[in-house]
């Protein structure tokens, strides 16, 4: 089989052969065994049926680190790296000792912050025990296990400490919009990590109402939002007594993040 270039095809060949893209480039005439050929065809069929590449290969890179992913967690998106970067910059500019990551999923935010800011302790929480187990595995693989504590919690239900910074990427898709998502998302990623309720704001209501009890004086909260949710989420935080509420855009100039302080 003559190896060709193509984003997903090439990635699956790398996964199958253990080569990186550079090695594939210099081995265009590599012959796969009959067994490898059949396995490759099976991988292509899975991808053609809509299974995300990241679930097939079991990995996704985030902030330069390789994270394991599986269908128990959302696949980390590139725009969420901007939230991690904002949190890391905030820690560098402020006296932050402890950080809480709500809805941690695969742990990308909590672990990336812990790796970049060794002076802080991070608590990573999620309602899904399966997701939390994967996040803990990622922390061990990446060497952050000593600075990230994992807690099974429905938002703040099992949280007891106060934090200098809270970061979160909660579910924010409207329930009625779930069926209109692309097949890779609606048929493969966990709906519980996507469904934000009738108007997409269920989790923001709870976070806005409950977060202040778990924040140190002057602490900051940073959250990812849907592109059309800035005004509604900002109002929720304002009505809950937050100040200095700011909206930040992603690389596509879409409203994507909100920060607020108490």
State yes or no: pLDDT of 30 exceeds 60.
yes
What's 202-226 look like in SS3? HHHHHHHHHHHHHEEEEEEEEEECC
pLDDT digits (tens, 9 = 90+) for 133-164: 999 999 999 999 999 999 999 999 999 999 99
- Cα separation, 125 vs 179, in Å, equals 28
pLDDT at 148: 98
What's the whole-number mean pLDDT along residues 28-55? Answer: 88
- Cα separation, 49 vs 1, in Å, equals 22
Band (98; pLDDT cuts 50, 70, 90): very high
Band (6; pLDDT cuts 50, 70, 90): low
Look up the pTM and report it. 0.91
Task: Tell me which architecture the domain covering 73-261 has in CATH.
Answer: 3-Layer(aba) Sandwich (3.40)
- Cα separation, 75 vs 228, in Å, equals 21
Provide CATH 3.40.50.150 ranges for the chain.
Answer: 73-261
pLDDT digits (tens, 9 = 90+) for 194-207: 999 999 999 999 99
């Amino acid at each position: 089989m003559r190896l060709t270039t193509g984003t997903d095809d090439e990635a699956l060949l790398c996964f199958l052969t253990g080569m990186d893209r550079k090695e594939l480039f210099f081995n265009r005439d590599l012959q796969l065994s009959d067994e490898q050929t059949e396995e490759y065809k099976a991988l292509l069929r899975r991808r053609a049926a809509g299974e995300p590449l990241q679930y097939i290969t079991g990995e996704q890179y985030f902030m330069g680190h390789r994270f394991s992913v599986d269908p128990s967690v959302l696949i980390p998106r590139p725009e969420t790296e901007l939230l991690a970067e904002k949190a890391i910059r905030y820690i560098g500019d402020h006296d932050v000792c402890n950080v809480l990551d709500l809805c941690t999923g695969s742990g990308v935010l909590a672990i990336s912050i812990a790796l970049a800011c060794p002076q802080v302790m991070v608590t990573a929480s999620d309602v899904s025990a399966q997701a939390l187990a994967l996040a803990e595995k990622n922390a061990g693989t990446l060497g952050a296990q000593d600075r990230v504590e994992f807690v099974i919690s429905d938002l703040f239900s099992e949280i007891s400490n106060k934090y200098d910074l809270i970061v979160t990427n909660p579910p924010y898709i409207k329930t009625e919009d779930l069926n209109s998502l692309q097949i890779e998302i609606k048929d493969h990623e966990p709906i519980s990590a996507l469904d934000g309720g009738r108007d997409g704001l269920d989790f923001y209501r709870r976070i806005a109402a409950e977060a202040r009890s778990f924040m140190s004086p002057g602490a900051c909260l940073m959250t990812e939002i849907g592109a059309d949710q800035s005004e509604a989420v900002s109002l929720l935080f304002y009505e809950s007594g937050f100040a200095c509420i700011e909206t930040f855009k992603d690389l596509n100039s879409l409203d994507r993040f909100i920060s607020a302080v108490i």
